[in-house]
Amino acid sequence: MLGTFVNIFKIPDLRNKILFTVALLCIYRIGFYIPVPGFNQLAAEVQQQGDSPLSRATDYLEMFTGGTLSRSSLFGLGIMPYISSSIILMLLGEVVPSLRKLRQEGATGYKKIQEYTRYLTVPLCILQAMMYMRMSSLDIFTGMKTQAIMMGIVGMTAGTMFLMWLGEQIDEYGIGNGISLLIMAGILARFPKAIIDVWNNTTFQIGGSSSQYGPGTIIFLIAAFVFVVAGAILITQGQRRIPIQQAKQMRGHRMYGGQRHYLPLRVNHGGVMPIIFASSLMMFPQIILGQIMNHFPNLFTNTLYNAFNPTAYTYNVVYIIMIFVFAFFWTTVQFQPKDMAKNLRDRGSFIPGLRPGQRTAEYLETVMIRITFFGAAFLAIIAVIPSIVSGMLGVNYLVTSYLGGTGLLIVVSVSLDLVQRIEANLLMRNYEGFTDAGRIKGAYR
């Protein structure tokens, strides 16, 4: 393993890519400490603290977008507008024929869609910045409201566009997967805060206060951390390999083809997107009910408000159902069995025992539905671990969300992709990979 790290810096091209990526990530983190002019940073941080639904929603958005809404910084919106515009165009690609045609044109169509994504990011940035300015109106210094709002909208929009540019530069000149690396860097930057919180509230004395964590709680948190990491690696690398037989063809006096290949189908085809979609929607009921309670307080509203608390049974049941729904929805959008069956037929390949065309497409769709069910089940387990641990053991929700759950799943997934990219560069230049057997392989059945 140590020799592999030495080999990484022996290759000039790979070394320059890694150093370039690290430099841009450093710039990314420095930007979080550049405040928006006219805002009181201390008042903003105090206002965002607490266990209110709005505070939890803000913490969740900060974890996934890499933003710092509690600091009112130039990078406060993070890259959420860019991610939102990408998802919008991806979904519209299934409905709008012109966008679907661009997706089928290969690299040229991809560049055009990326251009549309950048254009759509700008109005989304302006809209989200205006919403944040309205929420943070109490944090603006006296006599600077109009100027601070204008500078905040322009500054946050420019900050998000700059982050989008950083991600594209990492894709082109760095190690690649720039947007995911920015998200991972934002999550990792908050891990020390969660660890310090655990350390400050840990006690090894019997009969400590209810707000302190005993040895059993610490052991359980470590075990949950190991379980989530191991499970995330397994589900990310897991594949269902479908045998593919290539048809034999006579060319002149020689016969070509006849080789046997495999078609890998990922168990977790949607990645963490089902959890992100489900979590985003589950934030709104308690926020809306909280606003209704302020104007029309009654027992019925209080009951619903408590039912949608992240530690409540009703919340977790609805949360799991939403994860399953979005997992199948995302797989339906991304996975096209008819197109895959058509490509296999055009290349002269087929699945043994199945006729090319419609029968092959039905078989691929059936297999994908089955493995998606197990992938969604694992995502549901990962997603509800923070709520269960927080409710049963009384651990701070911020700690459980970072030491286990979606944030850790994103870190593991992006880290595996980063390791595979580095290993591919090493193997391409006749160096050994991180394992003795060579390239890291996915688990399959």
> What does the alpha-carbon distance between residue 385 and residue 403 come to, in Å, rounded to a whole number?
10
Rg for the chain, CA atoms, rounded:
25
In a shared domain, residues 138 and 216: no
**Lowest-confidence segment of 83-87, 169-173, 209-213 by average pLDDT:** 209-213
Question: Amino acid identity, residue 18?
Answer: I
CB atoms within 10 A of CB 99: 18
| Domain final residue, candidates 189, 224, 254 | 189
Is residue 425 very low, low, confident or very high in pLDDT (cuts 50, 70, 90)? confident
Among 105-109, 154-158, 275-279, top mean pLDDT goes to 154-158
Q: Does residue 115 fall inside a structural domain?
A: yes
Cα–Cα distance between 265 and 351 in angstroms, integer? Answer: 14
User: For the whole model, what pTM was predicted?
Assistant: 0.76
Please, are residues 163 and 28 in contact by the beta-carbon 8 Å criterion?
yes
Residue with tokens 């943070």: 136
Q: CB of 441 within 8 A of CB of 261?
A: no
Give yes or no: residues 425 and 373 share one domain.
yes
316 and 356, same domain (yes or no): yes
The CA angle 320-398-64, to the nearest 5 degrees, is: 65
pLDDT digits (tens, 9 = 90+) for 192-226: 777 887 788 777 665 555 557 777 778 888 887 88
Q: Which two tokens stand for residue 291?
A: 């606003």
Residue 18 lies in a domain: yes
Q: Which residue shows structure tokens 């979005």?
A: 326
Rounded Cα gap, residues 195 and 175, in angstroms? 29
The distance of Cα 162 from the centroid of its chain, to the nearest Å, equals 20
Distance CA 302, CA 290 (A): 9
The one-character DSSP state at 265 is E
Range of the domain at 266: 201-445
Residue scoring higher pLDDT (421 or 207) = 421
**Last residue of a domain, which of 143, 166, 189?**
189
For residue 389, give the nearest of 380, 397, 379 by alpha carbon: 397
Q: List all residues 6 or more positions away from 214 whose beta carbon is below 8 Å from its beta carbon.
A: 203, 204, 208
C-alpha count within 13 angstroms, C-beta hemisphere, residue 331: 25
Task: Give the model's pLDDT for residue 292.
Answer: 75
Give the residue, 5 or 71, on which the prediction is more confident: 5
Q: What angle do CA 163, 165, 171 make, to 5 degrees?
A: 110
Q: Number of helices (H) and strands (E), helices first, in the chain? A: 18, 5
What's residue 393's pLDDT?
A: 75
- φ, ψ dihedrals at 265, nearest 5°: -115, 120
Work out how many domains the chain is built from and give that number.
Answer: 2
Taking Cα atoms as reference points, which of 7, 3, 76, 1 lies closest to residue 36? Answer: 76
Residues 154 and 38 in one domain: yes
Q: Which of 382, 367, 365, 337 is nearest to 444 (CA)?
A: 367
Q: In this structure, are 151 and 257 located in the same domain?
A: no
237 with 363, same domain? yes
Please indicate, yes or no, whether residues 320 and 411 belong to a single structural domain of this protein.
yes
For 69, counting Cβ atoms within 10 Å of its Cβ (0-12 exposed, 13-18 middle, 19+ buried), the class is buried
Which CATH number does the domain housing residue 284 bear?
1.10.3370.10
Asked if 226 and 373 sit in the same domain, the reply is yes
Predicted confidence (pLDDT) per residue in 105-147, tens digit: 777 888 888 889 899 999 988 888 887 776 665 566 666 677 7
254 and 146, same structural domain?
no
Q: Are 431 and 248 in contact (CB under 8 A)?
A: no
Average pLDDT of the segment spanning 400-422 = 78
pLDDT tens-digit series, residues 20-68: 999 998 888 888 778 777 666 655 554 444 455 555 555 655 655 555 5
Of 89-93, 191-195, 207-211, 418-422, give the lowest mean pLDDT range: 207-211
Q: Which pLDDT does position 243 carry in this prediction?
A: 86
Residues 8, 143 within the same domain: yes
pLDDT value at residue 23 = 92
* Structure confidence at residue 444 (pLDDT): 45
Q: State the average pLDDT over residues 361-374.
A: 90
Per-residue pLDDT at 305 exceeds 80: no
At residue 300, does pLDDT exceed 70? no
In the prediction, which pLDDT does 46 show?
45
Tell me, what's the pLDDT at 272?
Answer: 74
Closest-CA residue to 381 (of 399, 406, 400): 406
Q: Tokens in use for 13?
A: 């091209």
Which residues make Cβ contacts (< 8 Å) with residue 63, sequence separation at least 6? Answer: 186, 187, 190, 401, 402, 406, 407
Q: 231 and 167, same structural domain?
A: no
* Nearest CA-CA partner of 45 in 81, 73, 79: 73
What are the tens digits of pLDDT across the range 341-354?
Answer: 888 888 778 888 88
Q: Is residue 289 part of a domain?
A: yes
In the predicted structure, residue 282 carries a pLDDT above the cut 80 = no
Which comes out higher in pLDDT, residue 215 or 240?
Answer: 240
Q: Comparing 430 with 304, which gets the higher pLDDT?
A: 304
Beta strands in 181-326 (DSSP E): 239-246, 249-251, 254-256, 260-266
User: Which phi and psi angles does 261 have, rounded to 5°?
Assistant: -125, 180
- Last-in-domain residue among 134, 168, 189: 189
Q: Which two tokens stand for residue 203?
A: 């006690």
Q: What pLDDT digit, counting tens, does each position of 319-339 carry?
A: 889 889 888 888 887 788 888
Mean residue pLDDT of the chain comes to: 77
* 181: three-class secondary structure by DSSP: helix
